[in-house]
Every structure is written in structure tokens, then in C-alpha cells.
Amino acid sequence: MSVEARRDQLIEIGLRAFTEQPYHEVSIDAIAREAGISRGLLFHYFSTKHQFYVAVIRRASRELLAYTFADVSGKPIERLHAGLRAYFRFIDERSLVYSGLMRGGVGVDPEVQELLEATRCIIRDRIVAELGELPATEAAMLRTTVRGWIGLVEAIGFEWLEHRDVSHEHLVAIAVRALQALVPDARMLWE
């Protein structure tokens, strides 16, 4: 197996492991065993359990981006709905990974936080681009507004993971209503 293919395989197994178990319960030995390699060889690819975790979170971030921006057909408002639905489905499926990241803990350090913040910035910039030229909107205000909106989407997702007492459709409705109010000029473009 090539170095790249092996790394990929290990990250795949790791993503499933961190999805099913909290950080401290994930066993590097079990992952090496599943890949059919020795523990020593795994540490050849990732120097520590933490570095392995960082690689898994990087993969999960890419997956999240691909997932939430998958739908490129339809009207912008439909794409927004589809993206939000995909986002809430994603954090549902990866709830252990997600709440581990949100709650902090052994796995969360500045490197992971930077990775998350970089992902938020990519989402922010894509949405800003999607909203298009807006009359009388300063770039800094728009960027701040959209960053705030992403904070709202994350927070309702986290609240939902803790309580699971509203539907995904309700979460989508909260997020859409907030964005429409915050960027009212773009609203006309959508409907």
C-alpha cells in the first residue's frame, strides 16, 4: 500500500472510531489491528494519538464542507435549506466528534481550534460570496454578520445535541429566519 493510501485508510478507520467513542476511549492499538498493521507502524504515520486525532478532524472538516455545499442546483434559498439540513444531519451522525470538539477536552488544543476556525472562515467566505454584491453593505459588516450567523447555527446545533427536543426542520427555520433578517437585501434575490 502506498504511504498516501495507508494514511487514508487509517484516517477512515479513525473517523469511524472517534464517531463511535469519545477521545479517551479510542484505542490506537485497536485501530492498528483493524488496519492490519503494527502499533509501531501507525506511529510512523502519526507521531502521537493527538496528531492522529488532528488528521481525523481535518478529514471530518473537509467532509462537512463537501456535505453542506453538495447541492449546487436549484435556487439559492433551496440550496440554503439543503445545506442547513445537511449540516444538522452531519452533526447528528458525528455527534460524539462534534460535542467533543465543542466541549473541549483532552483532544482540543490550539491546533484543533485553529482548524475549526479555518473551517468556519471557509464557510463564512463561501456564504459571503453566495450572497453576492449587496447595496450599501460594507464588506467588514457583512463578514461580521455572516460569522455571527455561523455562530448561531453552531449554537442551535449544539443545543439540539444536548436536548434533541426540536426537529431539524425547526433548526433550519431558525437559521433561515436569522439570515433573512440579517441580510435583508439578499432576501429578495432568493425568493
- Residue 59's nearest CA partner among 105, 13, 120 is 13
Taking contact as CB under 8 A, which single stretch among the options 44-52, 63-71, 80-88, 102-110 is the one that binds a second copy?
102-110
Q: Is 148 in the site for a second copy (CB under 8 A)?
A: yes
Q: Is residue 104 a contact point for a second copy (CB under 8 A)?
A: yes
Q: Is 119 an interacting residue with respect to a second copy (CB under 8 A)?
A: no
Q: What is the dihedral of CA 130, 136, 137, 138, to 10 degrees?
A: 130
Q: How far apart are CA 147 and CA 128, in angstroms?
A: 10
Q: Is 153 in the site for a second copy (CB under 8 A)?
A: yes
75: left (phi over 0), alpha (psi -120 to 50) or beta: beta
Contact 147, 182 (CB under 8 A): no
Question: Interface with a second copy includes 163 (CB under 8 A)?
Answer: yes
Q: Choose the stretch contacting a second copy; rule: CB under 8 A; options: 3-11, 73-81, 90-98, 153-161.
A: 153-161
Under the criterion CB under 8 A, does residue 158 sit at the interface with a second copy?
yes
Q: Is 65 in the site for a second copy (CB under 8 A)?
A: no
Among 113, 118, 125, 132, binds a second copy (CB under 8 A): 113
Task: Candidates 55-63, 74-82, 89-97, 170-178: pick the segment binding a second copy (CB under 8 A).
Answer: 170-178
Structural contact between residues 9 and 1, judged by C-beta atoms closer than 8 angstroms: yes
